Each structure stands twice: as C-alpha cells, then as structure tokens.
C-alpha cells in the first residue's frame, strides 16, 4: 500500500533541526516554563506555520534560537538548535550576530517600533547590507531600491529618502520584509508579521511572501495566533500550546483531519469562508484559559479544557507521535483518539460529551 516508505532513508539533512528546546524565565513567583521540550525539523524551502494562542511560547522559542532572550530573567533549560548542522545555542554572540539578518532573516510584528522613525528607509535597508554583505554606500542604496521593487512598493526610487511615517502600515510591513530578505536568507522567520494589519492588506502581504518564496526559495517559519492565516502560506502546520507542540502535519491534513482537540478548537473558532454556506459551522471559542506556566499540570497541558480528556491525560504527558500509519508526517500528542470520538459523536449525537 505505501510505496513511499523506502524513500524515507534518503532524505537530505534538514536546514533547521530543533531538539528538545527548553526556555524558562525566573520570576519571584517561581520559574515560568515558557518552552518545554520543543523538537522539530524544517527542510530547505519548506514553509512552516506555527500557530497557538497568545502565551504558548511561539515567540520565545524563536527568540531563543536567535540568542535574543533577555538573560536574566530568561535561560535556556536545554536542547540544541542545529541550523545548517551547527548548534546556534553554542554560538558566541559575535557569530550569532552574523547569522541574524544574514543567513536567517526575520520580520517581527509592529514595524513602527522596529523601524527607526528618524532614519530614511534607504538608510535602514542599507544597514544590514553593509554589516553582512560589506556593500559600500552606493551599492547598498542600489540594492535598497531593488529590494523596494521586490516587495512591490511603487515608485521605489522616489521613496528611498522618505521616513517610515510617510508609508502606510502595509508598506511599512513590506519594508520590514525587504529588510528581512536583504541578505538572501536561507530562512525567514516572521512573527505575527501581519497581525496589526487589516484583513485585505494581510492577504496582500501573504500573497507577496508566496511570490518572493518562489523567486528566492528560502524556507519560512510563519508564526501567528490565527490558523486561518497559515492556510494560504504553509506546507506544514505546527500547533503549540503551553510551550509544547501538540500537533504537526501537512497543512491539508491539519485542516481536514485534526487529531488534537486543541487544533479542532482552533479550527472551529475560524470563520469558514472556503466551504461556502453548507460547510459553515457556528463559531465557538475554546472555553477556559491556558495553564499557569509557573506550575504546569503533570499531564497533557490541554486536558483541563478538553471535553475529550481521559484520566490518563491528567496524569501523564502524551508524547508527540505519528497520528496514524496512513499519514507518516502527521504527528499528535494525545492519549485520546479524536477521529474515533468525532465519528461516535456523529453516529449518536449527544451521547459523547
Ligand atoms: N521577558 C520575559 N520575562 C518573563 N516571562 C516572559 C518573557 N517573555 C515571555 N515570557 C513568558 O513566556 C511565555 C511564552 O510567551 P511567548 O512566546 O511570547 O508567547 P506567544 O508568542 O506564543 O504569544 C508567556 O507565559 C510569557 O509571559
Ligand atoms: Mg508572540
């Protein structure tokens, strides 16, 4: 039945290999365990969408990779982050600075605070080009103009000497993307890069990033609290909760066949525009709140909010494991069998919680 199994052994080494990463913040009330044993890989050119509610450790885990956790109060409690085979966590700061904005580009939320309001756009785009590529002023300016063209800012030449406040919110985010891509990174990390924008502009930015990906071919980690956003951009989706990965799989599998009750909750809270009237369900929010990460529960962190939780869920953390033999890339951390529970629900409505 599955002829693809024999190909598994010939896969190339991943671009990024995160192994058992842990991050904590010391506070007066005890250590906040923000990231707890996160492991995953990213292939060259792959787009990974990372989703989860606010506070699930999405930002902290990428900040840790880039050496941007404030220490103290933050500390890496364990793990490795192999990028092109070398552990970023073991890099001296001087080396990391070369990687940040060089081989790894990043775009964070809120370009108004990330862009310097007192510097022209040309000067800001030129900065990483000088630091990482050693371009002189003239060459950097030329490249800055190319980059503004690349992110489809009209009349780029005339806009180089303008300041951030002269650009719209969407254009400022395009400038940030231009900066993130300026050194032709192998990996672009975007953290809530479109969250502050309205839905139309958000869609434009996502379409732009997809075009750029085709042109440049970098891998992308796209972080958002909105599962709807990743539908249009990701190859693989990873769902985080309480500093753990609860589910990971090809984007179509995650949407069509979720295995974690948390993923199901996120899906049910999305307005379903793609399936038309017949497929539209009533929206509901996931009841309850995430656990206190100073004192995380011993079992499945989502158990307290999960109507499908079993006694085992409250006692023992489930490992992230293959969801079914039919879908090798689909992983879930759950002791319960969500598809079976949903099927039972459909067969006898009301009989299962
Ligand atoms: N500088 C910090 N000091 C203390 N706690 C922090 C700090 N930064 C983040 N945290 C905590 O780490 C956890 C994960 O945060 P974060 O990664 O920002 O969540 P997300 O990006 O998924 O919304 C949260 O509980 C947050 O309060
Ligand atoms: Mg965040």
- State the DSSP string of 65-120: HTT-S-TTTEEEEEEEEEETTEEGGGS-HHHHHHHBTTTEEEEES-HHHHS-TTS-
Q: Which ligand has the shortest distance to the CA of 292?
A: 1
Number of H helices, E strands in the chain: 14, 12
CB 24 within 8 A of CB 38: no
Name the token pair of 119: 């510097």
**pLDDT-derived band at 8, boundaries 50, 70, 90:** low
Ligand nearest the Cα atom of residue 191:
2
CB atoms within 10 A of CB 74: 18
**Which pLDDT belongs to residue 272?**
62
Reply yes or no on whether the pLDDT at 52 is more than 90. Answer: yes
CB of 63 within 6 A of ligand 1: the answer is: no
Across residues 291-301, what is the average pLDDT?
A: 95
Distance of CA 282 from the midpoint of ligand 1 (Å): 31
Q: Is the CB of 249 under 6 A from ligand 1?
A: no
Are the beta carbons of 43 and 250 closer than 8 angstroms? no
Q: Is the pLDDT assigned to residue 280 strictly greater than 60? A: no
pLDDT of residue 235: 96
CA 227–ligand 2 middle distance (angstroms): 14
Give the pLDDT of residue 113.
Answer: 66
pLDDT tens profile 198-244: 888 888 889 989 988 988 899 999 999 989 889 989 999 999 999 99
- d(Cα 239, Cα 56) in Å, to the nearest integer? 9
Task: Return the residue whose CA atom lies nearest to atom 3 of ligand 1.
Answer: 25
């Amino acid at each position: 039945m599955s002829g693809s199994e024999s190909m598994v052994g010939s896969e190339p080494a991943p671009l990024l290999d995160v192994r058992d990463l842990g991050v904590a913040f010391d506070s007066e009330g005890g250590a906040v365990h923000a990231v707890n044993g996160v492991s995953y890989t990213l292939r060259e050119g792959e787009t990974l969408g990372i989703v989860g509610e606010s506070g699930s450790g999405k930002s902290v885990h990428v900040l840790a990779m880039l050496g941007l956790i404030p220490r103290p109060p933050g500390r890496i409690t364990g793990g490795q982050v192999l990028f092109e085979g070398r552990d970023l966590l073991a890099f001296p700061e001087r080396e990391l600075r070369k990687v940040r904005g060089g081989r790894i580009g990043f775009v964070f939320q809120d370009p108004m605070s990330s862009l310097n309001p007192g510097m022209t756009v040309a000067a800001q785009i030129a900065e990483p080009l000088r630091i990482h590529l050693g371009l002189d002023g003239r060459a950097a300016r030329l490249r800055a103009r190319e980059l503004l063209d690349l992110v489809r800012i009209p009349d780029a030449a005339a806009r180089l000497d303008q300041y951030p406040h002269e650009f719209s919110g969407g254009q400022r985010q395009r400038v940030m993307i231009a900066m993130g891509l300026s050194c032709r990174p192998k990996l672009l990390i975007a953290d809530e890069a479109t969250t502050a924008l309205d839905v139309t502009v958000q869609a434009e930015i996502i379409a732009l990033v997809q075009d750029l990906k085709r042109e440049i071919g970098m891998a992308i980690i796209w972080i958002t609290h909105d599962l709807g956003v990743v539908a249009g951009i990701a190859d693989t989706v990873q769902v985080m909760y309480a500093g753990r990965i609860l589910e990971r799989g090809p984007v179509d599998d995650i949407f069509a066949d979720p295995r974690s009750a948390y993923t199901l909750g996120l899906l049910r809270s999305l307005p379903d525009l793609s399936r038309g009237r017949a497929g539209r369900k009533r929206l509901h929010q996931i009841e309850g709140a995430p656990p206190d990460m100073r004192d995380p529960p011993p079992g499945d962190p989502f158990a307290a909010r999960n109507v499908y939780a079993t006694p085992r869920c409250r006692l023992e953390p489930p490992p992230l494991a293959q969801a079914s033999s039919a879908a090798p890339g689909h992983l879930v951390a759950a002791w319960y069998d969500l598809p079976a529970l949903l099927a039972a629900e459909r067969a006898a409505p009301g009989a299962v919680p």
